Amino acid sequence: MIKLIRCPSCGEEIELNDLYEGMEIQCRLCNSIMIIKEGKLLLLDTNEEFDLDELVHEEEEETVEEEFEEDYYFEEEV
């Protein structure tokens, strides 16, 4: 089971192959160290706890939005 989460410090994607109590995770970008404790992710730098479900990264479909620029011309009253 592969799970993608976002680092709570920098937002970098972290790929997890396994999840177990006491597992240590280190972000490759910001070097933050996190531990899974009681089903939550404990960020050791700040002792903040994060719910794993909130950090799960789901692939979002890219939507193309067309932007229209409209120029408005107003006649000035004299």
| Helix or strand holding residue 53 (H, E) | helix 52-55
- What pTM did the predictor assign? 0.64
**Inter-residue contact 30 to 53 (CB < 8 Å):** no
Contact 17, 26 (CB under 8 A): no
- State how far the Cα of 24 lies from the Cα of 31, in Å rounded to an integer: 12
What is the mean pLDDT, run by run of 10 residues, along the chain of 78 residues? Answer: 86 90 94 92 93 73 45 62
Residue 63: the pLDDT is 36
- Phi, psi dihedral angles at 13 (to 5 degrees): -70, 135
Degrees, nearest 5: CA angle 51-55-58: 140
Task: Please give the domain boundaries of the chain with CATH numbers for all domains.
Answer: 3-55 (2.20.28.160)
**pLDDT (0 to 100) of residue 56:** 81
pLDDT score, position 64 = 39
